[in-house]
Chain A
Amino acid sequence: MIIAMRDPASGPVASVPLWQRMIVGKNPKVTLVRALLLGLGCWLVFRHVLLPVRVNGISMEPTLRNGSVNLVNRIPYLWRAPRRGEIVAIRTTGTSIMYLKRIIALPGESVQMQGGRVWIDGRLLDEPYLGEAEPWEIGRRTLGPEDYFVMGDNRTMPKELHWGGVIKRSRIVGSTLW
């Protein structure tokens, strides 16, 4: 089927097949420019702003399920510090593999774990995201000006198999969107 388009300025009719119009639009050059801009935009967003991640492991269950997908937002920490309770992505030597952990204690605070419960500056921390927990014990330590204490939400697993502890601010890439 051919759709005839009348150019009001010049008069002659340009014939564009329907299949071509459906694939590349009325003007292929404009379509190409739009596609390039869209691709560039996606590259910028998903490479530098919102990093897609797939969760591997059970250390953050039930909050983050093994195999689930999430996005790490790098923007907020450009102008503010990470906050307690936020789930952050922690880089290794790069961002190909990152740890997802929750911030438990902030710089300058003292943190301790007794019987699986966290104490910040001598006060018991309320952790509504926490279910049952093994009686982990972590000796009291005071965090430096660039230190954050992070831990996973799944504390039903043996402590020896659970990665967590003190990280530097420079290792925090961003926070998860959900």
Chain B
Amino acid sequence: MKWGKLLLVLALGGAAFAGLRGCLPSDQKRILRLLTSLAQDVSAPAQGRTLADLAAANRIADHFAPGFQIQVTVPGAPDVAVSDRAELIQTIAAAKGRTRQVEVRFLDPQIVELGPASAVIEATAQARVSGDPELYVVEIRFTLVKLEGLWRVRQVENVPTFE
């Protein structure tokens, strides 16, 4: 009976701990969720309606902190160099209007640095364009900052695989 009570207490304690972790995720989990959300929003298909596509572009821009900078080079694809929210929204809206659907995934995220207010994550970005057999792959470094309790992307740049 004593062992039974002990097991029950341990089980309840484990369940409570798991529940607490689910309700109060760590910074690491929040950052990974941010990257997943960013990839999903970028991959969302264009609606074909100006306001809806503009709203989608705004959702993507909301992942970024003020003063952000994106500088990414992908062989076989146009370079991306953006550092202004309005420019980012315009670029995304225009790209979704003329491009077929793009599926973006951030694979194997590795947390390089994690502090109370900043973090550096490296991940492998994989992009597929519908109708295009080519698979675009590039290693990306995200520098993030915590603003008012929320993680936002401050900088996006290439990580060279080959020197």
Taking Cβ atoms with an 8 Å cutoff, the residues of A that contact B are 56-57, 90, 92-97, 99, 147, 150, 160-161, 163-167, 171
Contacts and interface: CB of A to CB of B under 8 A. Distances in A.
Contacts of B109: 93
A92 B162 contact: no
17 contacts: A92-B107, A92-B124, A92-B161, A93-B107, A93-B124, A94-B110, A96-B108, A97-B107, A97-B124, A97-B126, A147-B163, A160-B75, A163-B161, A164-B162, A166-B163, A167-B162, A167-B163
A163 B160 CA distance: 11
Contacts of A94: 107-108, 110, 124
Given A92-B139, A97-B107, A150-B162, 7 more contacts: A93-B123, A93-B139, A163-B75, A163-B162, A166-B163, A167-B161, A171-B161
Given A57-B135, A160-B75, A93 B162 contact: no
A92 B160 CA distance: 10
Q: Is chain B's interface secondary structure helix, strand, loop, or mixed overall?
A: strand
Nearest to B135: A56
Q: Which one of B110, B122, B159, B162 has the greatest number of beta carbons of chain A within 10 Å? A: B162
B76 interface: yes
Interface centre among B107, B139, B161 (most CB of A within 10 A): B161
A37 B135 CA distance: 37
Nearest to B160: A165
Nearest to B137: A97
A93 B53 CA distance: 32
4 tightest A-B contacts by CB?
A94-B108, A165-B162, A92-B124, A166-B163
Interface in B120-149: 122-124, 126, 134-135, 137, 139
